[in-house]
């Protein structure tokens, strides 16, 4: 069975020949660049520096040889720019504090303070205030909040819409070219077009913008979901209108090439509960998700992808009502996220894209035998009657032992029969 059919069978809740696998298909189902480099060495692949295609989380690009070893069934195309607002290309060498040589985009531009902390600048412009900080010895960038004082009497929703723009002919050509190449691999194709993530907290601070306006402080944004609902409704209403116009143009250009559309990375869960009640979700978010997902389902064959970390079982019925087909990362370590319960209650209506192994404890701190045991257990639970694409719970993090990552991959192959 070809990879694309395998994934489509799973998405349509039919039993595929084996569990499909995704690593690197989204910005929330990848691996830290150090892990990608370690895997290449583990499998004896050609020595070469790994490309950092998403510098915010320092995610490494999986080349074709590694995808083949892992058995990846998904090919992806992301937007033209990184989360820091510069293109992903024109590669140059850079060294992590641990000594690993990697390749980064050409406009990856850093400054450094006396303590050795590194600062990344939006659009690669060193004259602009930095929007991310990597502490000395660190492996990731933390967003720098650049929130001006809020004048309640002059808040303008348009300020929180600066990043949501109509697609251009250049955008359409980029996606058409990239998706055509992705489809030629024979894998299922996942597109992250952007512009549809309502209140995605990674985007709220505007790390890709030189001088973001509006509500850009993470805490202030969450406060706004309680005290400034009218403001957020105005932002979401306009964002949704832009998104729908963009989706029409994108579908006309690339519609038949796409199998899955990444819609939203907005997190609604903590380790122990949700950020908002089901009622607030239904009032503030669901009407707009329904418009976006509704248009997609009425006009395309795409499946829609929803990422939310945390204990979100209380919101899953609302996610389904909102029109989402896929849940990621399926954080089984959070409260109320028992795999058996999730599969029994929602498995016929949601595809679980993730949940294959716990990345908080088992994968980074367990033994290879413990990793194998949990992977086999999760595959047994989630794979019944399709509705499952194997991935870890969110990205594989730096300092995860390569033997454990390899044990995870081997366990999936074992479950799949070799």
Q: Is the pLDDT of residue 1 over 90?
A: no
Q: Domain residue spans in the chain?
A: 3-31+62-83+148-415
Q: Is the pLDDT of residue 67 over 80?
A: yes
What single-letter DSSP state applies at residue 281? Answer: I
Q: Is the pLDDT of residue 287 over 90?
A: yes
Torsion, Cα of 32, 38, 42, 45 (10° steps): 90
Structure tokens at 296: 């997609």
Mean pLDDT across 89-93 = 97
For the chain, give the percent of residues with pLDDT over 70: 100
Give the model's pLDDT for residue 354: 98
pLDDT digits (tens, 9 = 90+) for 297-306: 999 999 999 9
H/E/C letters for each residue in 282-327? HHHHHHHHHHHHHHHHHHCCCEEEEECCCCCHHHHHHHHHCCCCEE
Phi, psi of 387 (to 5 degrees): 70, 30
End-to-end alpha carbon distance in the chain: 15
Give the model's pLDDT for residue 418: 77
Q: Is 60 helix (H, G, I), strand (E, B) or coil?
A: strand
Strand-pair category, 50-54 with 101-104? parallel
Give the model's pLDDT for residue 148: 87
From 198, 362, 215, select the one nearest 285 (Cα to Cα): 198
pLDDT digits (tens, 9 = 90+) for 217-250: 999 999 999 999 999 999 999 999 999 999 999 9
pLDDT digits (tens, 9 = 90+) for 354-402: 999 999 999 999 999 999 999 999 999 999 999 999 999 999 999 999 9
Mean pLDDT across 287-304 = 98
pLDDT digits (tens, 9 = 90+) for 15-41: 999 999 999 999 999 999 999 999 999
CB atoms within 10 A of CB 150: 15
pLDDT category of residue 320 using cuts at 50, 70 and 90 = very high
Q: Which residues of 246-278 are buried (b: 16+ CB within 10 A; e: fewer)?
A: bbebbbebbeebbbbbbbbbbbbbeeebbbbeb
H/E/C letters for each residue in 82-138? CCCCCECCCCEEEECCCCCEEEECCCCCEEECCCCCEEECHHHCCCCCCCEEECCCC
Phi, psi of 80 (to 5 degrees): -70, -30
Burial class of residue 152 in the structure, from the number of CB atoms within 10 Å of its CB (0-12 exposed, 13-18 middle, 19+ buried): exposed
Cis peptide before 117 (omega within 30 of 0): no
pLDDT category of residue 292 using cuts at 50, 70 and 90 = very high
DSSP H helices in 106-217: 169-183
Q: Is the pLDDT of residue 98 over 80?
A: yes
Mean pLDDT across 125-144 = 97
Class of domain 3-31+62-83+148-415: alpha beta
Q: Which residues of 291-311 are buried (b: 16+ CB within 10 A; e: fewer)?
A: bbbebbeeebebbbbbbbbbb
- Give the global pTM: 0.97
């Amino acid at each position: 069975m070809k990879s694309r059919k395998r994934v489509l069978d799973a998405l349509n809740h039919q039993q595929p020949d084996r569990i499909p696998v995704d690593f690197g298909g989204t910005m929330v189902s990848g691996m830290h660049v150090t892990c990608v480099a370690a895997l290449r060495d583990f499998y004896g692949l050609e020595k070469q520096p790994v490309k950092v295609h998403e510098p915010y989380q320092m995610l490494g690009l999986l080349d074709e040889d590694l995808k083949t070893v892992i058995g990846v069934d998904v090919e992806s195309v992301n937007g033209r720019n990184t989360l820091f607002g510069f293109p992903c290309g024109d590669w140059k060498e850079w060294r992590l504090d641990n000594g690993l040589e990697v390749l980064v985009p050409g406009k990856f531009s850093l400054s450094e303070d006396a303590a050795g902390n590194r600062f990344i600048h939006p659009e690669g412009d060193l004259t602009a205030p930095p929007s991310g900080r990597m502490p000395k010895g660190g492996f990731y960038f933390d967003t720098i909040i650049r929130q001006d004082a809020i004048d309640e009497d002059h808040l303008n929703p348009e300020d929180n819409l600066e990043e949501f723009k109509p697609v251009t002919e250049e955008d359409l050509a980029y996606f058409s070219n990239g998706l055509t190449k992705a489809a030629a691999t024979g894998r299922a194709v996942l597109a992250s077009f952007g512009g549809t993530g309502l209140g995605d907290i990674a985007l709220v601070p505007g790390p890709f913008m030189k001088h973001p306006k509006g509500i850009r402080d993470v805490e202030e944004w969450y406060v706004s979901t309680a005290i400034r609902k009218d403001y957020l409704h105005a932002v979401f209403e306009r964002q949704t209108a832009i998104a729908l116009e963009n989706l029409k143009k994108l579908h006309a250009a690339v519609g038949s090439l796409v199998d899955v559309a990444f819609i939203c990375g907005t997190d609604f869960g903590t380790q122990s509960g949700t950020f908002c009640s089901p009622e607030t979700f239904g009032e503030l978010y669901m009407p707009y998700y329904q418009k976006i997902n509704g248009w997609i389902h009425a006009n395309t064959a795409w499946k829609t992808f929803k990422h939310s970390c945390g204990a979100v079982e209380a919101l899953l019925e609302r996610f389904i009502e909102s029109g989402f087909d896929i849940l990621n990362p399926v954080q089984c370590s959070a409260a109320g996220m028992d795999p058996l319960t999730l599969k029994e209650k929602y498995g016929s209506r949601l595809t679980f894209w993730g949940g294959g192994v716990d990345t908080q404890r088992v994968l980074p701190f367990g033994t290879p035998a413990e990793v194998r045991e949990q992977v086999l257990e999760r595959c047994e639970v989630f794979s019944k009657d399709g509705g499952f694409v194997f991935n870890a719970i969110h990205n594989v993090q730096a300092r995860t032992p390569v033997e454990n990552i390899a044990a995870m991959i081997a366990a999936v192959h074992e479950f799949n029969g070799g």
